[in-house]
Each structure stands twice: as C-alpha cells, then as structure tokens.
C-alpha cells in the first residue's frame, strides 16, 4: 500500500520527518502529526510504523490518522517506557525517524456489505481510528456500524470530540470503570454494552483492539452472542524490533506479529490466547 517513493526505501532505514503538531490527549497520552508534504502517507488501517527517537531507540506505533487525508502521518502514543517518554518530550519542529508502514490491516474490503461492530479499550481506539475514518468515508459500503468503547474513567476517553461527531453517523456507546456524578454514560466493563445492542450473527464482523485481556473477554462475549472466531479480528501487540519478520522478537506461536499481524482473524490466534506466558 506504500507509494513508489515509500516502497523504494530500505525498510530498515528510518526516514526523518518533522513533527508538525503535538496534541495532549489524555494523561500520559499524546498525538504527533508529522509533516509528510502534500501527498498522503499511504497505509492501510491497522498497520503500524516504527518510530525512532534519535539517541533513545525505536518503538512500533499504530497509524491513527485518516488514510485519505493529506495530513495523515499521525500517531497517538502512550508514555509507557523510555522511548515513548522521549517521544513525549518532543515538540513541533523536532525530528523523528520513521520506518513503515508495516503489517497486516483490518479486513475492510472483506467486510463490505456487512455490519461492523468495533470494540475498543483505552488506547486501543487509536489503531481503530483509521478504520473508522475509512468506514465513515465509504458509509454506503457497510451495514450498521457500532462502536463500543471502554476506558477507566471519563478523563481517559480518547478523541472525545470525534466520538461525539461519530455518534451522529453511527452508534457509539461509551463506558467507564468508574465515574463521578457528572458522567451521563454507562459505568461498567465494555462487554456490558453488548447487552444493549442486537447483533446479526450471520452478517457481522467484529474488530477488537485494546489490551489482550480485554480482547480475550470481548472475543468470548462475542462468541457467546453467536459470532464465530472467523468473524472476529484482533490487533495483537508484542515487542517488535525489525518489523520485517527477521529478528523473531515478536514471535507469537507460529506467527510474527510484525509481519503476519498485528491484525489477525481470531481463529488464527484463538488457541494462543489460551496459552499462558506466550
């Protein structure tokens, strides 16, 4: 899906890009928009880039921009370690090395004509945002679109303005683990929200992204609702290094997350979800 310019590059060589904008999202979570010129950075929703902070190291981060937009080289990042902490200290104008895009994507072509149920937890909404942009830009290609999104607390809800906008075009349901009196939404885990919707068992594809434990509970709940594992897609996360399936760092059973994933059909990885310490 890369442009000719993108595809000519050595995939091991980071290309420096300038940060155009930094947005503080929720505590310890921020979005970087890079200057890629006038042409869009071509990628498929679900793919990721390797972001290299010079002098610190490299981390895999999902694309979270609009695939169709010119300003789409966008990454939403949580500060969870030394490299992401270094990323958080950068300002507009600073340079970051980028390799990518890498990996598999959400099955948006195969899903045409079907209902799409999206379940996201915490920062897991970021890798799904490009898929939502694509679906909403091609709304007539899909049936009912539902987003069920859970976070710890109301102040951890990512992209609140966009969620409000999306709610005018599709079903958006939010839940938090706990909240104060001013919260009007649901309180409880994201799987609770399934009680409030009707799922067409034969004609629904579910896209899940969030911590593995959340996806495990969601996948189980969806199977209890009658979906088969082949109708459920998950985005897996491991410590990726080369992003090309060479180093083996992100091996997950017979798969390399960087090359075969990060997006897998649940029937590909269902067995591995039950294996501890994988």
Partner 1 sequence: MVKIKNIKDLLAETPFFEDMEDNLELLSGCGTLVRFNEGEFLLKEGEKANSFYLIRKGNVSIESHIPGGTLSVSKVGAQGIVGYSWLFSPYRNQFDSRATSNVEAIKLDGKCLRSKAQEDHELGYQLMKRFAELMLQRMQSTRRQMLDIYGESGQAA
For partner 1, the binding residues (CB under 8 A) are 46-48, 59-62, 76-78, 80, 102-103, 120-124, 126-127, 150-152, 156, 177-181, 183-192, 196, 209-214, 217, 235-240, 257-258, 261-262
Residue 145 CA, chain-centre distance (Å), reads 17
- How near is the Cβ of 154 to partner 1 at its closest, in Å? 10
Minimum CB–partner distance for residue 235 and partner 1 (Å): 6
Between the alpha carbon of residue 117 and those of residues 132, 135, 194, 254, the distances in Å are 11, 11, 10, 28
Q: How many CA atoms lie within 13 A of 138 on its CB side?
A: 17
Taking the least distance from each CB to partner 1, the nearer of 121 and 229 is 121
Q: Please state the closest distance from residue 234 (CB atom) to partner 1, in A.
A: 11
Nearer to partner 1 among residue 203 and residue 220 (C-beta): 220
Helix locations, 3-152, DSSP H: 4-8, 82-89, 125-137
In which element (H, E) is residue 22 found? strand 15-24
Q: What's the closest the beta carbon of residue 212 comes to partner 1, in angstroms?
A: 7
Closer residue to partner 1, CB minimum distance, 53 or 142: 53
Cα 219 to Cα 56, 171, 215, 232: the distances in Å are: 36, 20, 6, 7
Measured from the CB atom, is 142 or 235 closer to partner 1?
235
Task: Taking the CA atoms of 64, 237, 98 and 89 in sequence, report the sign of the dihedral they define.
Answer: positive
Q: Which is nearer to partner 1, 132 or 142 (CB)?
A: 132
What is the radius of gyration, based on Cα positions, of the chain?
18
Shortest distance, position 164 Cβ to partner 1, whole Å: 19
């Amino acid at each position: 899906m890369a442009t000719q310019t993108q595809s000519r590059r050595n995939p091991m060589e980071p290309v420096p890009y300038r940060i155009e904008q930094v947005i503080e999202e929720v505590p310890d979570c921020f979005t970087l928009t890079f200057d890629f010129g006038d042409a869009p950075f071509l990628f498929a929703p679900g793919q990721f880039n390797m972001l290299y902070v010079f002098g610190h190291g490299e981390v895999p981060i999902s694309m979270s921009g609009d695939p169709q937009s010119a300003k789409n080289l966008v990454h939403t990042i949580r500060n969870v370690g030394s490299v992401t902490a270094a990323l958080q200290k950068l300002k507009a104008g600073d340079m970051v090395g980028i390799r990518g895009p890498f990996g598999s994507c959400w099955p948006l072509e195969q899903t045409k004509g079907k209902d799409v149920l999206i379940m996201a937890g915490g920062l897991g909404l970021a890798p799904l945002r490009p898929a939502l942009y694509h679906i909403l830009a091609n709304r007539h290609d899909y049936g009912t679109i539902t987003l069920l999104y859970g976070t710890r607390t109301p102040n951890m809800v990512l992209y609140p303005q966009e969620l409000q906008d999306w709610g005018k075009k599709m079903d958006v349901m939010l839940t938090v683990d706990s909240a104060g009196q001013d919260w009007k939404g649901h309180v409880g885990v994201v799987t609770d929200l399934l009680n409030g919707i009707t799922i067409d068992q034969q004609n629904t594809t579910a896209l899940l992204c969030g911590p593995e434990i959340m996806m495990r509970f969601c996948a189980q709940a969806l199977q209890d609702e009658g979906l088969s594992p082949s109708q459920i897609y998950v985005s897996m996360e491991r410590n990726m290094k080369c992003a090309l399936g060479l180093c083996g760092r992100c091996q997950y059973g017979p798969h390399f997350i960087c090359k075969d994933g990060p997006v897998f059909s649940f029937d590909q990885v269902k067995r591995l979800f039950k294996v501890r310490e994988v």
